[in-house]
Amino acid sequence: MTENLTSRDLANIAARAIDEKKGSDIVIQEVGELLNVTDYFIIATGANRRRVDAIQEYVEECLTKEAGIKPYSIEGLDEMTWVLMDYGNIVVHIFQPAQRDFYRLEQLWEDAPTMDAAAAGIEDAEYSERISKLLEHQKQRMEELAAEGSQEEESESDVEEYDEIIDPEGTGFTREEFDELK
């Protein structure tokens, strides 16, 4: 047990526990910028009621042993179709396949960055076609946002350069004239 674990560390522990108990479609979403109640959602599928139960018990066991934490609450234990484990900084959602497909929770929060399962220490993660497409789309979107961010930084840099170097005294150079001089 250590008190220096971050929310991301806790999410990784939960994701690895899910993987070890044969959970699939493990998605780790960093929702902290969108929600003020938690930092990460860990969303996974258990093939059936018994698998969901085994995953839930093992996630709880691993987080207790490795991080010294217990959930504030666990919902859905009666039906075992969607189990929600609330640890404060992280929330673990374990679905049976039909409920996972119906609720599509990972799409509801698609603006949240998604962590690669490999970053959590999961090798050869199993994904359904739907989740694979979703993760690929998320990856492309993040790359596009990063590219837009670097373009904006270049534009801001150009404006600062124009203001400071070419027209510090307001000589009247146009933006086009400045670009031609570069």
Going by C-beta distance under 8 Å and a sequence separation of 6 or more, which residues neighbour residue 78?
A: none
> Residue 33 maps to which CATH number?
3.30.460.10
pTM recorded for the entire structure: 0.78
Q: Point out which residues pair with 30 in neighbouring strands.
A: 40
Q: What is the dihedral of CA 25, 14, 94, 134, to 10 degrees?
A: -30
Give the total number of structural domains in the chain.
2
Tell whether 96 is covered by a domain: yes
Q: pLDDT tens across 92-116, in order?
A: 999 999 999 999 999 999 889 898 7
**Tens of pLDDT along 115-172?**
878 888 898 888 889 988 888 888 888 888 888 877 666 555 555 554 555 445 555 5
Tell which of 127, 153, 168 closes a domain: 127
Query: Do 111 and 58 reside in the same domain of the chain?
Result: yes
E strands, 21-169, are 24-30, 40-45, 73-75, 82-86, 90-95, 114-115
Q: Cα angle at 118 between 83 and 43, to 5 degrees?
A: 15
Q: Note whether residue 43 is domain-resident.
A: yes
Residue 163 is part of which domain span?
A: 143-181
